[in-house]
Structure 1
Amino acid sequence: MNRVVLIVLDSVGIGELPDAALYGDEGSNTLGNIVKQFDDIK
């Protein structure tokens, strides 16, 4: 039996855009911040 697992990480955020400060999003990095909180994620 074949199986496909598809995980969509839409809008996960892997860094800020150059205009992030205009929108109060300085330092945004959702995926990086999650990894910092959980030692077992590599």
Structure 2
Amino acid sequence: MLTSVEHHPGRKIDHLIVFVLTALIVSLRSAFSILYS
């Protein structure tokens, strides 16, 4: 697994983008729940 990730640097970027998007969605959902509660 580690060797495949090392040979594909683009995959790390994809995982980073997915992580950032997930964090944004979670923070937005929590903000909306606070606003509309």
| TM-score clears 0.5 | no
Q: TM-score, normalised by structure 1?
A: 0.29
Query: Which protein has the bigger helix share?
Result: 2
Return the TM-score normalized by structure 2: 0.29
Larger relative contact order (CA 8 Å, sep ≥ 6): 1
